[in-house]
Amino acid sequence: MLITRECDYAVRIIRALAQGELTSISYICEKEHITMSIAYKIARKLEKAGYLKSYRGNAGGYALNCDLAKTTLYDILTVIDPKLLLIECMQTGYECSLNAPVHPCLVHHEFCRIQSKLNQELKAKSLADILHV
């Protein structure tokens, strides 16, 4: 699947934090309909990649640590799913008996072309554009 549920949730977490305020994970979960365990997992990935900052304690939570105008949808999606491929056979090193050098798979070639266009589009869209902030 191209856009996984985790990728969707990552964008939702960013959306919940788009106003730039420190926000509790419980509020994010309630607002975006995400379970606490998956929200923590995704938030940790986004924090490790530098897009979020966490604050501990009773008044803790998460806040954005990036400029939404300079952060693209591609940036966020690839934090969660570094491959972000249309189809499995596009993975580096994947061997397919239907895509031999003598008889290359025309479908594979077309998927590669579409993947390239999709990546261009995802890189062209900032989160500020998408979230209207």
**CA 5, 41, 117 angle in degrees (round to 5)?**
40
Q: Is the pLDDT of residue 95 over 80?
A: no
Q: What is the pTM of this model?
A: 0.86
Type and span of the H or E element at 114? helix 106-124
Local confidence band at 106 (pLDDT 50, 70, 90 cut-offs): confident
- The total domain count for the chain is 1
Q: Which range of residues forms the domain containing residue 73?
A: 5-131
Band the pLDDT of 128: cuts 50, 70, 90. very high
CB 7 within 8 A of CB 80: yes
Do 72 and 126 contact (CB within 8 A), yes or no? yes
Question: CATH number of the domain that 12 lies in?
Answer: 1.10.10.10
